[in-house]
Amino acid sequence: MNYLFGVDGGGSGCRVVLTSTDGKILGKAKGGPANIETSFSRARDNIINACMTAFKVANLSENNFKSSYAILGLAGSNLGNYASKLSNDLPFAKNKIINDGEITLEGAIGPVDGCIGALGTGSVFVGRKKGITKLTGGWGFNLGDDGSGAKLGKELMKLSIKCHDGLENHSDLTIDFLKNFNSDIKEMVECAKSFKPIDYAKYAPQIFSAMRCLDRNARKLIESEVILIEKSLIAAGFREENPFCLIGGLGKLFLPFLRDVFVRSCSEPKGDALKGAVSIGKREFFN
Amino acid sequence: MNYLFGVDGGGSGCRVVLTSTDGKILGKAKGGPANIETSFSRARDNIINACMTAFKVANLSENNFKSSYAILGLAGSNLGNYASKLSNDLPFAKNKIINDGEITLEGAIGPVDGCIGALGTGSVFVGRKKGITKLTGGWGFNLGDDGSGAKLGKELMKLSIKCHDGLENHSDLTIDFLKNFNSDIKEMVECAKSFKPIDYAKYAPQIFSAMRCLDRNARKLIESEVILIEKSLIAAGFREENPFCLIGGLGKLFLPFLRDVFVRSCSEPKGDALKGAVSIGKREFFN
């Protein structure tokens, strides 16, 4: 008897759904972080454990675990050779690893042409044109992640330094932000040395709050990213007449500041990334 | 008998000069990297070894080593509490640790009001106003270093990704640059994971070469930094009528692209950072 795992894995955790070959949901489970670029073996173990939990939840015989199929949408799978390495290291009868952006696109708009921007701690833009899916961005925090919470937080730090040094003018946002570090740039620089993307990202909501109070520096930070988000969506194949969703914790926060054509075209996602994974898995393995 | 060490320590190495109390040079030596923020104990050992070498070069009795004074201009000494930690850990009778930017300023313009921009792998801007010296920038690669080679190199990487993704248009610069990574963005992102500032900085000369061929992307990258360099100089107290020098490997390369007022006012430095260290040391210890 075959079963299908759908896996949605990102930097803060992974979610798993187990279905029958006709897509009926049998069990769900959650697990730890699953960005295979940032922590390969930890991601692998978290994914396998979550799948095992879903199997137990569904009360299935363990004998069937290894004969199951799995479709995995994982952050970082577009980088290095992590995806092929993991694919050879999974216990399933068949597996296919794609980017988490791709299952998010499928879940959000279904099997049609259109695009999404996924804006969370990191960012990726995914478009489908004539049936072919393509990632834009998704290159990680060091060199990419435009429009992400992590980038916003880091840019706030850089701007606060410029205000301190007298290159730019302080506003309530930069003054209040520096209070997180006893208003001491040295302390901020020292803290940031051990920061991971998630640590920078925690300051993003503070920027949007300030934006609602028309803070000048908040506007500068958000507008810089909005330009990049719009360019990325267009590069991902945005077309007014096709489905388009802005997803992730920051999607809703950024949307009001995008140009009208994006705001008008934006719709609620039809379903989540797990639904997308199952949909792709059925097409991939059982068609 | 007292002697004075002048030390100029940065991320790529340190230089030491040994003088008599009246400033006569007795010996010189070079040593390994001495940025106390990025590698504290290695920097300390390199500094002490270089000082010992200078003492031997001068053929002085080892008995006098510990009774010598030292003035140290060190990269990273404005961050954390590294300077006071090192100060307590040095074998000299007296020592004073200041930023390498401060000794560079003193060497370049002497004990007068004015400013410098030091643009190398990293960057710092130093001004003196009514006798008081102040750093602008110098916050390190993660959040600062505007106008530095490391930042230019990293921005070239980010721009190359944007060209690849279709957000910006390729030029000869970005196409040629990607050939360093087999024209493969994945490979570039993977390489950059282990990059230190010096690794990014090695691509800066390529950008200035392309600029001489009027490359569109080179201009974009250089002009972005020029804006920040000019703002930083003004924040450091730049005044047309006061001495001003642009120092470091990239100083000469950036200068032609600054506004006329900066180009007109810029002069050759009177002396190097070691000369500045000795000058400050004499004032500090023997006045």
Q: Is residue B134 part of a domain?
A: no
Query: CB neighbours of A287 closer than 8 A, spacing ≥ 6?
Result: none
Q: Which residues of A touch B79 (CB under 8 A)?
A: 186, 189-190
Assess whether B252 and B204 both reside in one domain. Answer: yes
Report the C-alpha gap between B274 and B287 in whole angstroms: 19
Q: A114-119 and A94-99: which strand pairing?
A: unpaired
Q: At what angle do helices A149-165 and B216-235 cross, to 10 degrees?
A: 40
Assess whether B171 and B215 both reside in one domain. Answer: yes
pLDDT at A221: 98
pLDDT at B22: 83
B158 touches A: beta carbon within 8 Å: yes
Q: Which residues of A touch B78 (CB under 8 A)?
A: 186
pLDDT at B93: 92
Structural domains in chain B (count): 2
Write the DSSP string, B216-250: HHHHHHHHHHHHHHHHHHHHTT--TTS-EEEESTT
Which chain B residue lies closest to A190 (C-alpha atoms)? B80
Residue A76 — very low, low, confident or very high, per pLDDT cuts 50/70/90?
confident
Q: Is residue A143 part of a domain?
A: no
pLDDT at B62: 82
B132 touches A: beta carbon within 8 Å: no
Residue B107 has pLDDT above 90, yes or no: yes
Residue A101 C-alpha, separation from nearest chain B C-alpha, in angstroms: 15
Q: What is the pLDDT of residues A2-14, one digit of tens each?
A: 899 999 998 778 9
Assess whether B105 and B47 both reside in one domain. Answer: yes
Assess whether A282 and A246 both reside in one domain. Answer: no
Residue matched to tokens 């049609």: A112
What are the phi and psi torsion angles at A251 (to 5°)? -55, -50
Assess whether B47 and B103 both reside in one domain. Answer: yes
Q: Cβ–Cβ of B232/A167 closer than 8 Å? A: yes
pLDDT at A79: 83
Report the C-alpha gap between A139 and B230 in whole angstroms: 31
Assess whether B81 and B168 both reside in one domain. Answer: no
Q: Is residue B126 part of a domain?
A: no
Q: Is residue B28 part of a domain?
A: yes
Assess whether A191 and A209 both reside in one domain. Answer: yes
Strand, coil or helix: what is B280? helix
pLDDT at A149: 94
Assess whether B25 and B96 both reside in one domain. Answer: yes
Residue A36 — very low, low, confident or very high, per pLDDT cuts 50/70/90?
confident
Residue B155 has pLDDT above 90, yes or no: yes
Q: Which residue has the higher pLDDT, A39 or A256?
A: A256
Report the C-alpha gap between A137 and B43 in whole angstroms: 39
Q: Cβ–Cβ of A79/B167 closer than 8 Å? A: no
Q: Is residue A200 part of a domain?
A: yes
Q: Is residue A138 part of a domain?
A: no
Q: Cβ–Cβ of A192/B78 closer than 8 Å? A: no
Q: Is residue B121 part of a domain?
A: no
Cα B142 versus chain centre, distance: 15
Report the C-alpha gap between A226 and A258 in whole angstroms: 6
Q: What region, left, alpha or beta, does residue B11 occupy, with left being phi > 0 and alpha being psi -120 to 50 degrees?
A: alpha
Q: Which residues of A touch B189 (CB under 8 A)?
A: 79-80, 139-140, 142-144
Assess whether B166 and B253 both reside in one domain. Answer: yes
Average pLDDT over residues B129-135: 91
Residue A79 C-alpha, separation from nearest chain B C-alpha, in angstroms: 6
Residue B156 C-alpha, separation from nearest chain A C-alpha, in angstroms: 10
Which chain B residue lies closest to A125 (C-alpha atoms)? B165
Q: What is the CATH number of the domain that holds B214?
A: 3.30.420.40
Q: What region, left, alpha or beta, does residue A140 occupy, with left being phi > 0 and alpha being psi -120 to 50 degrees?
A: left
Report the C-alpha gap between B48 and B16 in whole angstroms: 10
Which chain B residue lies closest to A165 (C-alpha atoms)? B136
Strand order in the sheet with A13-20: A25-31, A13-20, A3-10, A69-74, A94-99
Task: Supply B31's token pair.
Answer: 């040593």
Percentage of the residues of chain A whose pLDDT score is greater than 70: 100
Cα A117 versus chain centre, distance: 9
Q: Cβ–Cβ of B144/A137 closer than 8 Å? A: no
Assess whether B102 and B156 both reside in one domain. Answer: no
Assess whether A195 and A281 both reside in one domain. Answer: no
Average pLDDT over residues B28-32: 95
The one-letter code for the residue type at A40 is: F
Assess whether A163 and A80 both reside in one domain. Answer: no
Closest by Cβ to B79, choosing from A80, A190, A235: A190
Q: Cβ–Cβ of A235/B192 closer than 8 Å? A: no
Q: Cβ–Cβ of A186/B235 closer than 8 Å? A: no
Average pLDDT over residues A206-227: 97
Percentage of the residues of chain B whose pLDDT score is greater than 90: 80
Residue B62 C-alpha, separation from nearest chain A C-alpha, in angstroms: 38
Q: Cβ–Cβ of A140/B189 closer than 8 Å? A: yes
A255 touches B: beta carbon within 8 Å: no
Q: Cβ–Cβ of B190/A231 closer than 8 Å? A: no
Q: Which residues of B touch A148 (CB under 8 A)?
A: none
Q: Is residue A127 part of a domain?
A: no
Q: Which domain holds residue A105?
A: 3-110+270-286
pLDDT at A183: 95
Q: What DSSP state is assigned to residue B65?
A: G
Cα A106 versus chain centre, distance: 14
Instruction: Choose the most confident range, by mean pLDDT, from A146-150, B64-68, B75-79.
Output: A146-150
Q: What DSSP state is assigned to residue A91?
A: -
Q: What is the pLDDT of residues B115-130, one digit of tens each?
A: 999 998 889 999 999 9
Which chain B residue lies closest to A126 (C-alpha atoms)? B165
Strand, coil or helix: what is A111? coil
DSSP bridge partners of A31: A14
